[in-house]
Homo-oligomer: A and B are copies of this chain.
Amino acid sequence: MKEPKRQKLAAAGWTVGGAADFLDLSAPEAAFVEVKLALSQALRLLRTRKRLTQGELAGQLRSSQSRVAKMEAADTTVSIDLLVRALLHLGAKPRDIAKAIT
């Protein structure tokens, strides 16, 4: 977002922009959450396409429903490793992971 527009909206009492602006992240950190968000969204998409509940997927992953929920919410306690593993277990190929990130 261009700065003038941001100031205008900020003046109206809004905090504008993505997670980077709000949490005041450095560029690399912002890119990191961007990647994580992309993967979490890909996971939810793949799961719902297969018409699985979070609980069912958790069973396949030998994990728990609550953790799957956190994966899809890109919770801070969830690593990219876990997201990648989950995607691969759902049949995604490395190429699909790459596609999701792009």
Contact = CB atoms under 8 A, between A and B. Distances in A.
Contacts of A88: 27-28, 31-32
A35 B97 contact: yes
A95 B89 contact: no
A80 interface: yes
Interface string A62-102: 00000000000000000111001100110001110111011
A51 to B, nearest CB: 20
Contacts of A102: 94-95, 98
Given A35-B94, A79-B79, A80-B84, 10 more contacts: A27-B88, A28-B88, A28-B89, A31-B88, A32-B88, A94-B102, A97-B98, A97-B101, A98-B99, A98-B101
Interface of A: 27-28, 31-32, 34-35, 38, 79-81, 84-85, 88-89, 93-95, 97-99, 101-102
